[in-house]
């Protein structure tokens, strides 16, 4: 591969990045997160051009562009972190405290400012001294930038972990909003960061064989591809937290709630209630008397038995709380502490129990597994299979087969 081919690829990627940034900045859904990602793409596009023409001849012709490539990467990590934080926030907004993430950029700017203020002739004289310029290129600043990006990626993974807990306490169906692609994005950036570190130190120490990564900027090809991929995912990502009106109370249904069926058909099925757990620290300031907690628990279990709200595939804890006329934070506390579950697992235990009854009921034998899943409240077969396997230890097909074998054994 020639240097010129690398330049075409990186500059072409930068130009397309401008178009992608425009699309993101003008999209109405998730506006703050999209604008942050658009800003990140603009920065990376600018860096792509500088990387593409990272030669002595280029910077001698345009000396005022030298060392800009040292400054821009200090913004990459904060923008990645803030993008993830705002995309997963319930009420995303830019807070004054967010400005702290730009301190590394400001410190680097102050450090480089004396060089930026030099005249064209002074910069050319500096760049002409190849050994001095090369020594500075692989100095402490590049190493600190690599460490900064690593730390922010760890912070970003922590944000995604918090987000996962949040959605599992809010939604009964999380497959479409789990944002697995964001986790994959961070791991991919970690891989590119590792390649960047290899390229940096291979060039710095003159390691044979590995310097080709730096010479042709192979690690930066991954950056260009990754930006397009995450841009596409972000453009197709709907709003996650939406304010919905409270649903109308459903009509009473006299059927009893389906319960988790055990492996032995002769045993009486039941959904076991775990003992009350210690009070979670996040609820310590919430006033909920033990007798009120028990009352809410009784109301909740009765409502689940009579109304079967879990059949609504996109049920949220806010909708359930509004329908029952219970404060959402109290309902969440009852489910978390009294039942020892998050909202997602609580609702899906009822859905699995419903599916278990349908799967072995001759009346519903004509239904496919997908139809059974939808009847129980799941909105995809993949989610149904995963949750069913997690809660029962077997797939739906294995469950049907084992139940049939158990009935044959009892008949004998």
Residue 198 lies in a domain: yes
Pair (16, 81) in one structural domain: yes
Examine the domain organization and report whether 335 and 210 are in the same domain. Answer: no
Residue 202 included in any domain? yes
Give domain status of residue 259, yes or no.
no
278 class by beta-carbon count within 10 Å (0-12 exposed, 13-18 middle, 19+ buried): exposed
Final residue before a domain boundary, out of 178, 202, 235 = 235
In this predicted structure, the answer to whether residue 243 has a pLDDT above a threshold of 80 is no
| End-to-end Cα separation, the chain, in angstroms | 74
Considering the chain, what is the average pLDDT of its residues? 85
CATH number at residue 38: 1.20.1070
Specify whether 59 is located in the same domain as 191. yes
CA 209-211-213 angle, to 5 degrees, is: 100
Task: Return the closest-CA partner of residue 237 out of 319, 178, 305.
Answer: 178
Same domain for 333 and 231?
no
Q: Is 260 domain-assigned?
A: no
Could you give the number of structural domains in the chain?
Answer: 2
Same domain, 41 and 156: yes
User: For the chain, how many residues are written?
Assistant: 412
Report the pLDDT value the prediction gives residue 215, as an integer from 0 to 100.
65
Q: How far apart are CA 260 and CA 388, in angstroms?
A: 11
Q: Do 9 and 106 belong together in one domain?
A: yes
Above 70 in pLDDT, residue 122?
Answer: yes
Co-location of 115 and 28 in the same domain: yes
137 lies in the same domain as 211 = yes
- 323 in the same domain as 401: yes
Considering only CA atoms, which of 185, 130, 105 is closest in space to residue 153?
Answer: 185
Segment 351-388, tens digit of pLDDT: 999 999 999 998 988 899 999 999 999 998 999 999 99
Which one of 235, 257, 290 terminates a domain? 235
350 domain-assigned? yes
- pLDDT, tens digit (0-9, with 9 covering 90-100), for 12-69: 888 888 989 999 999 888 899 999 999 999 999 999 899 888 888 899 999 999 999 9
User: Domain of 288?
Assistant: 281-411
Phi, psi of 316 (to 5 degrees): -115, 165
Secondary structure (H, E, C), 161-199: HHHHHHHHCCECCCHHHCCHHHHHHHHHHHHHHHHHHHH
For residue 264, is it within any domain? no
| Residues of the chain above pLDDT 90, percent | 53
Do the domain assignments include residue 380? yes
Residue 369 included in any domain: yes
The predicted structure's pLDDT at residue 255? 43
**Same domain? 45 vs 192:** yes
d(CA 162, CA 170): 13
Do 81 and 149 belong together in one domain? yes
Q: Which of 220, 235, 250 is the last residue of a domain?
A: 235
């Amino acid at each position: 591969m020639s240097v010129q081919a690398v330049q075409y690829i990186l500059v072409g990627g930068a130009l397309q990045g401008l178009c992608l940034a425009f699309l993101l900045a003008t999209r109405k859904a998730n506006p703050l997160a999209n604008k942050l990602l658009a800003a990140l793409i603009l920065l990376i596009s600018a860096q792509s051009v500088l990387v593409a023409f990272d030669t002595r001849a280029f910077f001698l012709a345009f000396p005022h562009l030298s060392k800009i490539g040292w400054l821009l990467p200090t913004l990459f990590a904060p923008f990645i972190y803030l993008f993830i934080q705002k995309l997963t926030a319930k009420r995303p907004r830019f807070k004054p405290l967010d400005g702290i993430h730009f301190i590394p950029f400001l410190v680097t700017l102050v450090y480089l400012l004396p060089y930026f203020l030099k005249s064209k002739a002074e910069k050319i004289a500096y760049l002409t001294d190849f050994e001095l310029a090369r020594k500075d290129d692989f100095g402490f600043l590049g190493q600190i930038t690599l460490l900064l990006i690593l730390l922010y990626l760890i912070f970003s993974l922590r944000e995604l972990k918090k987000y996962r807990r949040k959605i599992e306490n809010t939604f009964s169906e999380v497959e479409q909003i789990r944002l697995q692609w964001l986790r994959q994005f961070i791991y991919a950036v970690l891989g590119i960061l590792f390649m960047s570190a290899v390229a940096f130190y291979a060039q710095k120490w003159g390691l044979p064989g590995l310097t080709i990564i730096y010479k042709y900027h192979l690690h930066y090809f991954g950056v260009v591809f990754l930006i397009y991929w995450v841009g596409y995912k972000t453009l197709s990502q709907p709003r996650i937290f939406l304010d919905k009106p409270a649903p109308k109370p459903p009509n009473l249904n006299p059927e009893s709630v389906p319960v988790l069926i055990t492996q032995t058909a002769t045993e009486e099925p039941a959904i076991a209630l775990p003992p009350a757990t210690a009070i979670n620290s996040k609820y310590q300031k919430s006033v909920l008397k033990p007798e009120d907690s028990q009352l809410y628990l009784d109301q909740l279990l009765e409502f689940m038995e009579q109304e079967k709200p879990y059949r609504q595939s996109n049920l949220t804890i806010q909708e359930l709380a509004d329908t029952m006329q219970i404060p959402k934070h109290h309902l969440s506390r009852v489910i978390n502490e009294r039942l020892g579950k998050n909202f997602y697992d609580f609702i899906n235990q009822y859905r699995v129990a419903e599916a278990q009854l349908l799967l072995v009921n001759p009346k519903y034998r004509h239904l496919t597994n997908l139809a059974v899943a939808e009847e129980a409240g799941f909105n995809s077969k993949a989610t149904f299979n995963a949750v069913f396997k997690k809660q029962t230890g077997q797939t739906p097909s294995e469950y049907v087969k084992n139940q049939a074998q158990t009935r044959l054994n009892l008949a004998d």
